[in-house]
Amino acid sequence: MLTKKELGIIEQYVDEEFYDKEKLIKYLNIHDVVGNEVFSYCDRQKNGKSTYSSWLDYEKGYGPLPVSTFVNRTPFYFYAIDKKDLDVENIGTLHNLYSSLIGEDEDYSNEKIYMALEYAFYSLKLPLRKIFNYWINQTGYVKGDGFFQWIHYLKLCERFGIQEYFPERFVVAYNEILEMSGLEPIIYEINECGLGAPFIRNGTRLEFEGRFPCDNDGNPIMKWIGIKAINVKSICCNCEKSKRGNLIIEIKPDTKIHVLNFYNYSDDKDYWYQVYAGPLTMEFDYKILKEQRKQFGFTQKQVAEAVGTTVRTYQKWESGETTPDGHFLLRLLNWLDIPDIQNAIKYNWE
C-alpha cells in the first residue's frame, strides 16, 4: 500500500486533467514492480492523444521500477503542459529531454537522467518548469546537449555556496566556475558557414558562426573561443544567452586569423588552422621554385628560357634575392606546374 507521503506526491504532481489518479493509485497498490503499461493505463488520452512521453513505452526510456522509486519520480513522468500555458518560455518536457539525449549522449542511461532530475528537484528544490525549460531558453531550441553541463554547474554552485542556479549567460557562468574549480574551461569552436567555409566575408567584415561566450556589451571572451585573431580593427559578437550567433571581425591588411579544429577528423588532436591572412602578411615562398624545378629535372637555364627571362634573374628569384612580378609569377606557376597560388606563398606571423 502507498504511504501517506507517496499519496501526497501523487496528489500534488499528477494532474487529474491529463491522468486518472484513481487508476494510478489502484495500480500502485496492487503491484510491487511498476511496468511501463502504467502510463497508458492511467492516461486520459486528452484530445485523442497521449500526454506521457512515448519514450516511456520503450526500454531506452523506461525500465521496471519498485513502487517507491517510481513514486519518487512521478513529478517527472507526469509533468504536463496545458496548451493555454504553452509559450516560448514553457515548452520543455521529459519527452524533449529524452529526445535530445537518446542517441546524442554517449553515456546515456535512464538512471543518469533521473539522478540529475532528482538532484535538481529534491536536493536544490528547483521548480520543475525551470528544470525542463532553462536549457531550452538558453539555447533557443529544444535540445538538451548542455543539460548535464548545467547539472554539473549546479553541483559546483553548491560547492562554492553560489545560488545563481539559472545564470543569464550559462556559457560564461559555467566556464567561470570551471576555472574557479581548477578545471579546464570549454573552448567553443566555430561552425561551418555554408559548404565547408569557416566564415562569410562582406568587405572587411568576416562573420563566424557558433556559440560564443560574450559579456553583456557583446564583447567576446576570446580565451574561451577557438579563434586566434591578431592585428584586427575590431571584434564583436551578437550571441544572446547561450544561443548561437555571429562573431564579427573587422580585418586590416595585416590581420591574421587561426581557428581551432575546423578541418579536423573526429580522431585528430587539437590543431589551429590558418583561415585568413591579410596581404601585408604574405611573402613569396621562393623555395617552391627549386623544389618544383628539381622534381621535373629542369636546369635553371631551361626554366629561365621557358618564362622569358635571363638565367641570372631567375637565379635571384630562386635564391630569394629578388621577387618575380605578377607577369613572371604567372608564367612560373604554369611552367613549374604549381596549381595553387597558395603553394607559392608564405606568411609572416611575427
User: Residue 164: what pLDDT?
Assistant: 96
Note the pLDDT tens digit of each residue in 92-107: 889 988 888 876 666 6
User: Residue 90: what pLDDT?
Assistant: 75
User: Residue 196: what pLDDT?
Assistant: 84
pLDDT band at 83 (very low <50, low <70, confident <90, very high): low
Q: What percent of the chain has pLDDT over 70?
A: 93
Whole-angstrom distance, CA of residue 178 vs CA of residue 170: 12
82 has pLDDT over 80:
no
Query: What residue spans define the domains of the chain?
Result: 200-277, 282-347
238: helix, coil or strand? coil
User: Residue 262: what pLDDT?
Assistant: 87
- CA contacts within 13 A on the Cβ side of 332: 28
User: Residue 141: what pLDDT?
Assistant: 76
User: Residue 243: what pLDDT?
Assistant: 93
Bridge-partner residues for 209, per DSSP? 191, 246
Sequence letter at residue 19 = Y
263 has pLDDT over 90:
no
User: Residue 349: what pLDDT?
Assistant: 61
Whole-angstrom distance, CA of residue 104 vs CA of residue 125: 28
Average the pLDDT over 17-37 and give the result: 96
Whole-angstrom distance, CA of residue 301 vs CA of residue 151: 71
Q: What is the pTM of this model?
A: 0.86
CATH architecture for segment(s) 282-347: Orthogonal Bundle (1.10)
267 has pLDDT over 70:
no
pLDDT band at 246 (very low <50, low <70, confident <90, very high): very high
Nearest to 240 by CA among 264, 216, 257: 216
Nearest to 134 by CA among 73, 99, 89, 80: 89
pLDDT band at 264 (very low <50, low <70, confident <90, very high): confident
- Please give the C-alpha separations between residue 290 and each of 295, 296, 297, in angstroms, as whole numbers: 8, 10, 10
Which residues, including other chains, have CB under 8 Å from residue 75's CB and lie 6 or more apart? 9, 12, 13, 121, 128
- Please give the C-alpha separations between residue 328 and each of 92, 286, 294, 312, 323, in angstroms, as whole numbers: 64, 13, 19, 14, 10
Nearest to 2 by CA among 63, 76, 68: 68
pLDDT band at 347 (very low <50, low <70, confident <90, very high): confident
